[in-house]
């Protein structure tokens, strides 16, 4: 009997599974390790007639973006391309009626697998790399400071924590509204605002303020460290008439600060849909690196419609 025709068994991941097979699967966790999440192992019959684990998967709600559920799966390399991944994904899908979402690197085996199951891109996100020390970058920053007077530029570490978290929450909500709607603001503030505050190097992240209100943010992440750094920026209210100027001012402050630290390049973790950051980075001639696709995998209604004869 071929492996593809063998009987498959699905069951919840246990602590014993993690202890025995965790080294084989990079994110293996026991079932229920997080509220609302399910984690399953896929078993087939081994050569000795026993059951052996060849795959692991998990599914659960996306607290911040509740219109899609998160899904991950991994099949042992020796057992791929035999229908096991498809079977595991379909089993995971029985725990949700929502479309499923994941992230893929372009050209990867993972992308090919999910595309074969009908995955579609809902946003392509490249990192945009800026040469911090380039002479033109220095001139760009100086030009911004000359063009955008009458605004206050401060480090996050100099501002009230609650004010920065409120601004982060407002920014995140409108940035995602058109392509990945968010949870209510109280949930978003708890899940996103606190996380971004905790994950930033606050003494080297920047805010622009007008009349005491934050209008733009430049967030320097705490990882990676060294000559290459990563961050993000945008306006707090994209519709304000001075929004683009204030985003430019926040970016100039961040770039000047990083250059003084000897940083070689900055990768901006922004979306091509951002109305101010994307055009500004084009004027800096930022290079696209390591693009990934955010993909939706049919499930529930979309799966049933796709499978119509």
Same fold, 3-98 and 125-293: yes
Spell out the domain ranges in the chain. 3-98, 125-293
Residue 97 has which token pair? 């009626």
- The CATH number assigned to the domain with range 3-98 reads 3.40.630.30
Q: Is the pTM of this model over 0.85?
A: yes
pLDDT at 99: 96
Q: How many CA atoms lie within 13 A of 162 on its CB side?
A: 0
- Which uninterrupted H or E stretch holds 87? helix 84-93
Q: Where are the beta strands (DSSP E) in the chain?
A: 8-12, 38-45, 51-61, 69-75, 100-105, 120-131, 152-155, 206-210, 213-220, 228-235, 265-268, 287-297
- Which uninterrupted H or E stretch holds 20? helix 15-21
Report the topology of domain 125-293. Answer: Aminopeptidase (3.40.630)
Q: What is the mean pLDDT of the chain?
A: 94
Q: Please state, in angstroms and rounded to a whole number, the distance separating the CA atoms of residues 241 and 188.
A: 26
pLDDT at 149: 80
Which residues on adjacent β-strands are paired with residue 129? Answer: 267, 287
In sequence order, what are the residues at sequence separation of 6 or more whose Cβ sits closer than 8 angstroms to the Cβ of residue 2? Answer: 82
DSSP line for 223-282 = SS-SSEEEEEEEESSTTSTTHHHHHHHHHHHHHHHHHHTT--EEEE---TT-TTHHHHHH
Coil/strand/helix, residue 15:
helix
pLDDT at 46: 82
pLDDT at 2: 57
Categorise residue 104: left if φ over 0, alpha if ψ from -120 to 50, beta otherwise.
beta
Residue ranges, the chain, pLDDT below 50: 1
Strands 206-210 and 38-45: unpaired
In sequence order, what are the residues at sequence separation of 6 or more whose Cβ sits closer than 8 angstroms to the Cβ of residue 246? Answer: 148, 151, 208, 210, 215, 216, 235, 240
Give 107-164 pLDDT, tens digit per residue: 999 999 999 999 999 999 999 999 999 999 999 999 999 998 889 999 999 999 999 9
Give 55-77 pLDDT, tens digit per residue: 999 999 999 999 999 999 999 99
């Amino acid at each position: 009997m071929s492996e593809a025709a063998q009987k498959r068994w699905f069951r919840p991941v246990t602590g014993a599974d993690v202890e025995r097979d965790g080294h084989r699967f990079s994110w293996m966790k026991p079932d229920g390790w997080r509220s609302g999440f399910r984690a399953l192992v896929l078993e087939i019959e081994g050569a000795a007639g026993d059951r052996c684990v060849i795959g692991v998967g998990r599914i659960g709600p996306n607290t911040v973006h509740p219109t899609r559920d998160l899904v991950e799966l991994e099949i042992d390399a020796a057992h791929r391309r035999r229908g096991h991944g498809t079977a595991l994904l379909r089993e995971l899908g029985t725990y949700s009626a929502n479309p499923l979402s994941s992230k893929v690197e372009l050209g990867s085996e993972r992308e090919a697998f999910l595309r074969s199951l009908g995955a579609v891109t809902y946003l392509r996100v490249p990192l945009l790399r800026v040469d911090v020390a380039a002479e033109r970058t220095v001139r760009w920053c100086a030009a911004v400071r000359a063009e955008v007077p009458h605004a206050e530029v401060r480090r996050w570490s100099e501002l009230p924590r609650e004010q920065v978290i409120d601004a982060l929450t407002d920014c995140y909500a409108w940035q995602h509204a058109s392509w990945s709607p968010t949870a209510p603001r109280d949930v978003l503030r708890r899940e996103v605002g606190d996380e971004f505050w905790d994950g930033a190097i606050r003494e080297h992240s920047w805010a622009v303020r007008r009349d005491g209100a934050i209008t733009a943010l430049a967030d320097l992440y705490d990882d990676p460290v060294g000559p290459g750094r990563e961050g993000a920026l945008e306006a707090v209210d994209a519709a304000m008439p001075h929004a683009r100027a204030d985003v430019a001012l926040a970016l100039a402050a961040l770039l000047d600060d990083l250059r003084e630290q000897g940083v070689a390049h900055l990768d901006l973790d922004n979306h091509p849909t951002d109305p101010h950051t994307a055009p500004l980075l084009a004027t800096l001639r930022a290079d696209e690196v390591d693009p990934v696709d955010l993909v939706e995998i049919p499930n529930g209604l979309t799966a049933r419609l796709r499978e119509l004869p």
